[in-house]
Amino acid sequence: MADKIDNIIEIRNLCFRRGERVIFDNADFDIPRGKVTAIMGPSGCGKTTLLRLIGGQIKPDSGTILFDGQDLLSLTRKELYELRRTKMGMLFQSGALFTNLSVFENVAFPLREHTNLPEAMIRDIVLIKLQAVGLRGARDLMPNELSGGMNRRAALARTIAMDPEMIMYDEPFAGQDPIGMGVLTKLIRLLNQSLGLTNIVVSHDIHETASITDKIYVIAQGKVVGQGAPSRLMEDESELVQQFMKGLPDGPIAFHYPAQDYYDDMMGSVDS
Amino acid sequence: MIERLRMLGRAGLHILEVLGRSAIFVMHSLCGVPNFRKGGQLLMEQLFAVGVLSLPIIVVSGLFIGMVLSLQGYTILVKFAAEQSVGQMLSLSLVRELGPVVTALLFAGRAGSSLTAEIGLMKATEQLTSMEMLGVDPLRYVIAPRLLAGFICMPILMIIFNVVGIWGGYIVAVDWLDIYEGSFWANMQSATSFDEDVMNGIIKSIVFAFVISWIAVFQGYDAEPTSEGIGRATTKTVVYASLAVLGLDFILTAIMFGDF
């Protein structure tokens, strides 16, 4: 039997445009199995787009995306849904809980849809998942009764309900208070260590992300500008990587959106 | 001139592209083996939301339209001493035209807009995307039950509208205007054919139901995921569905009742 591939995802020559704007220009990514990989970069650089490409929600203009050796782009609609059902999960920035269902029913949703388990077993699994995220006591609440952090934790419980092999997190720390951030950081690391899950974390919170990741990709201007262990990236010589990792306002990535000269703009006449 | 032609061509291509996309969308939603165990409950929920909750507006509108028709009909027919034919006029107007068309317009305004807004909001809050990532096809789980509920509910709502309308007309004609009850019902019965009038009305209603539900769910699914986008999609649903109903009504009437 052949050895299992080390990388759960291999992306080669990825090109993706949105209108005239180039999001990815011949980018390559390798996501190692059983590790936490972070995708980082300035706002609008295509981090969430990359997750959507891996999830098969959008298709690239060219390039290949292999998941477990399987070409995602050649899968039929049915095969893609089967893959999502069994192997991948995604935690959305907003949580994206179903607003008409309680926390318990949200977590039970994939189990009810994909299995024929008896109700008692579904209840046990849901309570185990909710206990893992600390929300067993909130099972009867509706999503609009939860805080932002609780919302994301409930969504995480739903994501792990079917025990996927890989979880993608879209900005899990955005808008979180320090406690919520700490809880989520701990949960991601715990899921990785105890269940051996592959995690892809999209974020621009450098310190929180660096503390839990094994590998970081820094992307900017459609390309991978840096990759490696967090400690290695801190020492990277690339100006782009340094600007991002140290949060410097001046550098290759301009603070200002492209515009005409400031003086000319201010002195120009107002169209009436 | 060339630029205008180019713009016209672009607009035409865009319309064709949207039509093609919406046709594939409906096909994906309705094709495949339905799961009766899980789908049944979803359908029942939508039948309640789309059908039962539309009942009050349908009943109230039907009642008043029947009453107004009777009153207007009487004031005109009495000039020709033909006021005993109010029942006939009432039933033919309602069953052939007003029943299917007014129910469809009310349905587009009440249920259609609500379907679009609900689906659009689910899209904007990433609920549809998260469903996809959980391996559940939103076309089968969210869209199909709503489409089916629309098909089933509207013809039933139209029948209820007609019944209530006739009852409203009866109250005005017989109780208030002293039309003889026997001639009211007898004229209605002799002039209204089940095969031609009632069935054609039901066929119209089924066609309208399909078009309205299709427009409503597609506009919601295709909406730009912003508050303005959802607002625009909701407006488009009501406008497109109303225009489609009125246009199709003329075509269907010409086919059903025209002497071609």
Closest CA relative to residue B132, chosen from A36, A151, A98 = A98
Query: Which residues, numbered 89 to 118 in chain A, qualify as contacts with chain B under a Cβ-Cβ cut-off of 8 Å?
Result: 89-90, 92-94, 96-99, 109-110, 112-114
Contact A90 B125 (CB under 8 A): no
User: Is it the case that residue A40 has pLDDT exceeding 70?
Assistant: yes
Rounded to two decimals, what is the model's pTM? Answer: 0.83
- The model's pLDDT over A202-213, given as tens digits with 9 standing for 90+, comes to 887 777 788 888
Torsion of CA A71, A74, A77, A81, to 10 degrees: -10
- And the tokens for A38? 């972070």
pLDDT of A206 reads: 79
pLDDT of B34 reads: 57
pLDDT average, residue stretch A136-144: 91
Q: Measured in whole angstroms, how far is the alpha carbon of residue B23 from the centre of its chain?
A: 19
Those residues with Cβ within 8 angstroms of residue A204's Cβ, 6 or more apart along the chain or in another chain: A40, A41, A42, A43, A47, A171
- The proportion of chain B whose per-residue pLDDT surpasses 70, expressed as a percent, equals 97
Closest CA relative to residue A18, chosen from A42, A53, A70, A65 = A53
pLDDT average, residue stretch B40-66: 92
User: Is it the case that residue A2 has pLDDT exceeding 50?
Assistant: no
Write the CA distances from A132 to A125, A154, A176, A187, B10, integer angstroms. 11, 10, 19, 8, 54
pLDDT of A272 reads: 47
pLDDT of B247 reads: 95
Q: Kindly identify which residue of chain B lies nearest to residue A155, measuring between CA atoms.
A: B130
Q: Does B125 touch chain A (CB under 8 A)?
A: yes
Residue B171 confidence class, pLDDT cut points 50, 70, 90: very high
Closest CA relative to residue B165, chosen from B59, B247, B75 = B59
B29: which chain A residues are within 8 Å (Cβ-Cβ)?
none
Write the CA distances from B216 to A77, B47, B108, B210, B213, integer angstroms. 24, 15, 8, 10, 5
pLDDT of B242 reads: 95
A113: which chain B residues are within 8 Å (Cβ-Cβ)?
38, 134-136, 141
- And the tokens for A5? 């591939």
Residue B108 confidence class, pLDDT cut points 50, 70, 90: very high
Q: Name the residue among A77, A82, A89 with its Cβ closest to that of B133.
A: A89
Q: Are A35 and A23 a contacting pair, CB within 8 Å?
A: no
Contact A96 B127 (CB under 8 A): yes
pLDDT of A1 reads: 43
Q: Which residues of B51-74 are buried (b: 16+ CB within 10 A; e: fewer)?
A: beebeebbbebbbebbbebbbebb
A112: which chain B residues are within 8 Å (Cβ-Cβ)?
38
DSSP element (H, E) containing A13: strand A7-18
Residue B71 confidence class, pLDDT cut points 50, 70, 90: very high
Best mutation target, A90, A105, A107, to test chain B (most B CBs within 10 A): A90
Q: Kindly identify which residue of chain A lies nearest to residue B32, measuring between CA atoms.
A: A78
Residue B36 confidence class, pLDDT cut points 50, 70, 90: low
pLDDT of A175 reads: 72
DSSP element (H, E) containing B211: helix B199-221
DSSP element (H, E) containing A8: strand A7-18
pLDDT of A147 reads: 84
Contact B134 A155 (CB under 8 A): no
User: Is it the case that residue A4 has pLDDT exceeding 70?
Assistant: no
Contact B129 A109 (CB under 8 A): no
> Cα-flanking dihedrals φ and ψ of residue B135, to 5°?
80, 15
Those residues with Cβ within 8 angstroms of residue B91's Cβ, 6 or more apart along the chain or in another chain: B166, B188, B191, B192, B197
pLDDT of B35 reads: 63
Top pLDDT among A228 and B202 is at B202
Length of chain B: 260
A81: which chain B residues are within 8 Å (Cβ-Cβ)?
132, 135-137
User: Is it the case that residue B260 has pLDDT exceeding 90?
Assistant: no
β-strands A21-32, A198-202 pairing? unpaired
pLDDT average, residue stretch A224-253: 76
Residue A47 confidence class, pLDDT cut points 50, 70, 90: confident
Q: Are A64 and A242 a contacting pair, CB within 8 Å?
A: no
pLDDT of A234 reads: 76
pLDDT average, residue stretch A186-196: 83
Average pLDDT of chain B is 90
Q: Does A158 touch chain B (CB under 8 A)?
A: yes
Contact B130 A90 (CB under 8 A): yes
β-strands A7-18, A166-170 pairing? unpaired
Q: Are A32 and A6 a contacting pair, CB within 8 Å?
A: yes
